[in-house]
Amino acid sequence: MRNIDVMRILLPPDDNSSDLRLGYLLASAENMLLDYIGRDTLPPRLSDAVVQTALALYNRLGNEGEDKRTENDISVSFSDIINDDIRQRLKNYPRKVGTVNAAHTEKT
C-alpha cells in the first residue's frame, strides 16, 4: 500500500486534503528522517515511520514554531516531530561514514 493511501486511512473521514498537500508532507517527513540518519535512501522498513512523521507534520499545520500554547485555561503542548519511538527505531540505522551529525548528537 502506498504511503499516501495509508495517510488517507489514518486522517479523519471528513478531511479533504489534496494529494499534493499529503505528498508534500510525506516528502518532508522522508527528508527529515534521511537527514537524521545521514543517508541518501530510506530503508523500506521505515516506510511507516515516514507516515507517522508526516501525520505529526499534518497535526502541526497552522501551529508551526509553537512549543506550547494556553488559551482560556486550556494548555496545549506539541511534541517533537520525530518522536522518541521513531528515534529509537532510527538507532538501528547508523549514520553513513563521513556524515556530519551536528544537529542530533546522541548523548550517552
Q: Is 106 part of any domain?
A: no
Instruction: Tell me, yes or no, whether 107 lies in a domain.
Output: no
Residue 102 inside a domain? The answer is no
Q: Average pLDDT in the 84-89 region? A: 93
Residue 55 falls within a domain, yes or no? Answer: yes
Q: What is the pLDDT of residue 37?
A: 93
Q: What is the pTM of this model?
A: 0.77
**Total number of domains constituting the chain:** 1
CA distance 15 to 34: 28
Residue 96, in any domain of the structure: no
Instruction: Tell me whether residue 100 is in a domain.
Output: no
Q: Which helix (H) or strand (E) holds 59?
A: helix 47-60
Q: List pLDDT tens digits, range 25-72.
A: 999 999 999 999 999 999 999 999 999 999 999 988 877 666 667 778
